[in-house]
Structure 1
Amino acid sequence: MIRVAAAVIENEEGLLLIARRKPEKSQGGLWEFPGGKLEEGESPEACLRRELMEEMGIEIAIGAFFGQNDHFYDAVHIQLIAYQAKHTAGEIRLADHDQYEWVQVNQLMNYEFAPADIKFVQMLMQA
C-alpha cells in the first residue's frame, strides 16, 4: 500500500487549488489536489508541508482532516488522505505538474480528475 497525502487548499477568495499532472507522470494529464507520498514515519501533515514546498514552492496552514479514499490502480493500492488547508505564502512554481488553477467548487466538474481524487471532488460538490 502506498500512502499519499492530499491538500484541499483554499485561498483568501475561497477558491481551491487544483493541479494537472505532467503527461509523462503516472495519471498524466489528470487533475488532482496537490500532495505526495508519505515518507517512512512521516505524518500526513508533515508530508503536505514538505511536498507543497518541494513541488509548488508554497507554504500552507493545515486545517481539519477532510477524508480518506482507498483506491486500486490495478494491483497498486493507494491510500489517499486529505486535509483542508489554507495557502499562506509563496508564489506557485510547478515541478510535478504542468498547469494549476484556482477554481470555485462548482467548477470542479469541468476537470478530469485522477480516479483516487474523485471521491473528494464529490464530497466538495455535496457540501
Structure 2
Amino acid sequence: MVERVRIATGVLVRDGLVLLAHRHSGREAYPDCWGFVGGHVEAGELPEEAVRRECLEEVGVYVLDPVPIAMTVEDSALEMHAFLVTRWEGEPVNAAPEEHDELRWFRPGELAGLKLAHPAGLPNVLKSVLDDEVSRPRG
C-alpha cells in the first residue's frame, strides 16, 4: 500500500475575504492555480503544527487557534488537513516568492470562477467561511 502524502492547508479569512496564493506556472504540482496557504506535514509533525509552520514560511503570519474543517480533494494520493484561520499575528505577505507569484484576498463568491488547485474542496470550505461570518459577533 502506498502511503498518502499528508498536506496541511490554512484557509485565512478576514472581513469576509479569503486569502489565496497563486502558484507559479513552473511548479510541478498544481502549476498556475490558486490555492490556500499550506504544504507537506513533515515526519513527526501534527497537521496543526504544519499549518502554523507553513503559514509562517509562506505568508509570514503566526496562526492562532486554527479550526479543523472538512476539505475534499480528488487526488487519492493526498491526505488533506484543512484549517479555518481567522486569528493570526502579522500581516500576510508573499514570504515564499519561489512558490507563489501573487497573494490576493477574494470574496467567497469569486472562488468558483478561479482555476483552483483543489476545486472539490470548495463547497465545504465556503460553508465554513460563511458559517464563521454568520456566527461572528458584530461590534
TM-score interval, normalised by the smaller of the two chains = 0.7 to 0.9
Letter in 2 for 1:119: A
CA 1:39–1:23: 2 relative to 1, 3 Å: same
SS in 2 for 1:40: coil
Larger radius of gyration: 2
Aligned-pair distance for 1:102? 0.8
Letter in 1 for 2:82: A
Tell me the equivalent position of 2:26.
24
Letter in 2 for 1:93: N
CA 1:70–1:122: 2 relative to 1, 3 Å: closer
Query: When the two structures are aligned, how many residues end up with a matched partner?
Result: 121
- Give percent identity, aligned residues only: 26
CA 1:125–1:69: 2 relative to 1, 3 Å: closer
The answer to whether 1:113 aligns with 2:116 is yes
Q: How far, CA to CA, are the matches of 1:78 and 1:97 in structure 2?
A: 21
5+ residue gaps in structure 1?
Answer: none
Letter in 1 for 2:63: I
CA 1:112–1:97: 2 relative to 1, 3 Å: same
**CA deviation digits over 1:72-104, x for unaligned, max 9?**
2xxx70111111112422231241211111111
Letter in 1 for 2:94: R
Aligned-pair distance for 1:70? 4.8
The answer to whether 1:86 aligns with 2:89 is no
Q: Could you say which structure has the higher strand fraction?
A: 1
Assess if the C-alpha contact under 8 Å between 1:45 and 1:62 holds in 2.
no
SS in 2 for 1:88: strand
Moved more, 88-97 or 105-114: 88-97
CA 1:19–1:36: 2 relative to 1, 3 Å: same
Aligned-pair distance for 1:68? 4.0
Letter in 2 for 1:14: G
5+ residue gaps in structure 2?
Answer: 131-139
Letter in 1 for 2:85: A
Letter in 1 for 2:89: A
The answer to whether 1:100 aligns with 2:109 is no
CA 1:63–1:53: 2 relative to 1, 3 Å: closer
Could you tell me the TM-score, scaled by structure 2's length? 0.77
- Which of 44, 52, 57 aligns to 2:55? It is 52
Tell me the equivalent position of 1:37.
40
